[in-house]
Amino acid sequence: MRQFSFRLLCFAAALLVAGSVDTAFSKDVKPLEIGMAAPDFALPGVDGKTHRLSDFADAKVLVVVFTCNHCPTAQAYEERLIKLSTDFATRGVAVVAISPNDPKAVRLDELGYTDVSDSLDDMKLRARDRKFPFPYLYDGETQTVSTAYGALATPHVFIFDSERKLRYVGRIDDSDVGIVKSHDARNAIDALLAKRPVAVNHTRVFGCSTKWADKRQSAVEAHERWDREPVSVKLIDARQVRTLAENRSKTFRLINVWATWCGPCVEELSELVTINRMYRKRPFHMVTISLDGVKNREQVLKVLVQNHVSCQNFLFNSEDKDALAESLDPKWLGPLPMTVLIAPGGKIVFRKQGELDPLALKRAIVQHLGRTYGSVK
């Protein structure tokens, strides 16, 4: 129900900005109107090149779609964008994707459906992994192009004819994860290729609002607020660890075993905090277990406080580390840190002995939680 409510809120916000500029958004941005010329651009792409509007001069139809890495709706449309691009490639249609978001304006809790952020470096990862057949350009530095086009949300589509006059603006189709009944963008492209007027040339958009740079302060304030969350540590025994590992909850449980004397353990705490803040609004929660021994409880708490580790934190109350290993994961051979992701019911779906690769862990988490609204595997 919480996920549905969140999705409904995002959808409602997008509908508001589609019809007129919502007063909740401090940046006054209006989409291009039908018949207007395509604004010029020169933007860096994930391929390391600068791409310009003139690069697509030979295209009969130009599709400019503003999208991004983190948005669940945008991710739901990735496969359809790829197919649209390949289906029309031989018919003189060019597709170019532009990310309008300032990555510093995106809060960590807005990254709960993704493994990567909206930075240019992370765009390169997404484009490589998804094998995008179209240019993927970054406008997050100045957002001048996104402002000129009036990109309200991700995704937001602008389709231009051979003279680069706008003939369609709005959504890709009428459903991100449900049954599609109206293929609006495809219908517009087909009409333009057939030299016919576009029957429906404007539709409302839905998705995640564009993250303009003036939202940076909100992201800073959120970070500061999370840093003030209380941090505590409790004792735990082998039987209780076994209960944690059995995971009779309905959430995915991330358990990290660490110690203050383990350099890599302490080093990766900040990454784990980031991961917890990203996903904890979803069916996910994080647990840490220290092996420092009861006598070092104050030192353990000090390190946890310094790193703002405000999840469930435990200190194993025994020197019998074999008992801990048998209770948590019999396949654990002993090296620290040790990290496991446990699905509801107790199945370990990710384990890492030794130093953690944060990206690999985030990919494992989002693989199981799902990248789109309502998609928990």
Residue 355: how many CB atoms within 10 A of its CB?
15
Rounded Cα gap, residues 181 and 46, in angstroms: 33
H or E element at residue 353 = strand 348-353
Rounded Cα gap, residues 123 and 45, in angstroms: 9
Sorted by sequence, the CB contacts under 8 Å of residue 159 that are 6+ apart come out as 61, 62, 63, 64, 166, 167, 168, 169, 185, 188, 189, 192, 198
pTM of the model: 0.90
List, in order of start, the domains of the chain with CATH numbers.
Answer: 2-215 (3.40.30.10), 229-369 (3.40.30.10)
**Strand locations in 67-212, DSSP E?**
93-99, 136-138, 153-154, 156-160, 166-170, 208-209
**Token code pair at residue 8:** 């409904």
pLDDT digits (tens, 9 = 90+) for 301-353: 999 999 999 999 999 999 999 999 999 999 999 999 999 999 999 999 999 99
Rounded Cα gap, residues 20 and 61, in angstroms: 27
H or E element at residue 255 = strand 252-258
Residue 7 pLDDT exceeds 90 = no
Please report which confidence band the pLDDT of residue 96 belongs to, taking 50, 70 and 90 as the band edges. Answer: very high
Rounded Cα gap, residues 230 and 346, in angstroms: 28
pLDDT digits (tens, 9 = 90+) for 208-251: 999 999 999 999 999 999 999 999 999 999 999 999 999 999 99
Residue 2 pLDDT exceeds 90 = no
- Please answer whether residues 66 and 146 qualify as being in contact, where contact means their C-beta atoms are separated by less than 8 angstroms: yes
